[in-house]
Chains A and B, each alone.
Chain A
Amino acid sequence: MIVGDLSRRELGERIAGPGLALQFGPFNLRIRSNLKSFASLAYQLYEPYPLPGTESIIDFHVQIASPRGLRQWMRPQACFAIDGQAPFAPYAVEHAFPALEWGINWCVATRAHHLLLLHSAVIERNGQAMLFPAAPGDGKSTLCTALIHSGWRLMSDEFGLVRPTDGMLLPVPRLIPLKNESIEVIRRFRPEAIIGPAFYGTRKGTVAHVRPPADSIERAQEPARPRWFVFPRWIANAPLALEPMSKSQAFLMVATNAFNYEVLDETAFQLVADMVRSSDCYSLSYSNLDEAIAALDELSRAIDE
């Protein structure tokens, strides 16, 4: 059963009451909110996500709500909470939806230490995964969005979840937040992409969320083996350049970028070493999305031969 199987009214009742339970890859969440605006957006953007069975244990109990009291009337705010505790300062009530999405990232990053958490976008084709380790302002989300609308499956935009027992990557195909100009870039590039409303003036500028293709969400329990690391940089007017990168450098960039490399001690060291050793590592400079996609498609075709 998926969120879309609920009526709008039923969803509203769940969110305002006991909470809406849904599944993002390996994580079961229960989401509550007293904001009607939030419920409407949730109905639209979380539509394809599965509901966990009634007997399932929920991993994260989260809430985005407007506090009661005088505040309600002065400058309305939305506060993110997990297990009744609020780790962040309140947001403007208009930013409730992105606030919850960021809050969920925080929950994963601070709690999911049974996995190695790389900071990376991950896409998949033919059972093999391509990772884009994050660096600030590098446009990985834009590239990732473009790729998943061009034949690749989304595993994740933010977290490369590595299962320590076998080094496999686990999907967590959540909404992809696009910022500022990227929103328009994707609208033009793929008019059929499902993009939620834009939120202006957030802490990260203007943000809008892309709902991944249904296929990515349906296959959210299908792991993949890492095969390529690509470090992308968008540079205005730059010619396409896809160049092999030294593995020691790739190792260091992946390790320093991970959320919990240090926490997993020796296991993390071995996992990253194994992944980098058995993958091809590249740096990619591009200014044109089509060119970049073609180059990456070429990489994946090259190993089929």
Chain B
Amino acid sequence: MPLASPLAGAPRLVCTIAVRTLEWQAWDDVYIVYQPSSAETHVFNETTALILRCLEQGPLSRKMVKERVEETLGVGLGKLAADDFAFATQRLEELGLIECLDEASVVQ
């Protein structure tokens, strides 16, 4: 099997169209966000909000998102707990705000 380049074929995360209609309210240290597509109200911390902001620009691999969030937060690379990050992305996926792009499937 030919050696694939490191990033080719790495699954990428991308924002769904639901993100475009989100209504954000910033309070104290959290964001309270309304999602019109699901009629749900969410509470996001800074990290989760940053994940969404990163992905709004375009698809990125998980590794890239994590690095950019760490950079913006001003913590060192690799300092953001992998578990927490995974939990946040999983949650965002469940909420229909991001999705994992492999070649074939894209949920509208």
Contacts and interface: CB of A to CB of B under 8 A. Distances in A.
* A and B, direct touch (CB closer than 8 Å): yes
Interface of A: 246-248, 251-252, 255, 261-262, 265-266, 269-270, 273
A266 B41 CA distance: 9
Interface in B29-50: 29-30, 32, 34, 36, 39, 41, 43
Contact of B32 (A248, A261, A266): A248
Query: Which 8 A-B residue pairings sit nearest by Cβ, starting from the closest?
Result: A248-B27, A269-B34, A248-B28, A248-B30, A246-B28, A247-B27, A273-B25, A265-B39
A255 B30 contact: no
B23 interface: yes
A252 B43 contact: yes
A269 B24 CA distance: 10
Contact of B36 (A248, A251, A252, A266): A266
10 contacts: A246-B28, A247-B28, A252-B32, A261-B41, A265-B39, A266-B23, A266-B34, A266-B36, A269-B34, A273-B25
Contacts, number: 30
Interface size class of B (residues with CB under 8 A): 10 to 19
Nearest to A263: B39
Given A262-B39, A265-B39, A269-B41, A251 B23 contact: no
Contacts of B41: 255, 261, 269
Nearest to B26: A248
A167 B29 CA distance: 26
Given A252-B32, A266-B34, A246 B27 contact: yes
B23 to A, nearest CB: 7
Interface of B: 23, 25, 27-30, 32, 34, 36, 39, 41, 43
A251 B34 contact: no
Given A265-B39, A273-B25, A273-B32, 9 more contacts: A246-B28, A248-B29, A248-B30, A251-B32, A255-B41, A261-B41, A266-B23, A269-B25, A269-B41
Nearest to B31: A248
A280 B32 CA distance: 18
A265 B36 contact: yes
A265 B38 CA distance: 9
Contacts of B29: 248
Contacts of B25: 251, 269, 273
Contacts of A262: 39
A248 B36 CA distance: 20
Contacts of A248: 27-30, 32, 43
A248 B30 CA distance: 7
Contacts of B28: 246-248
A246 B25 CA distance: 14
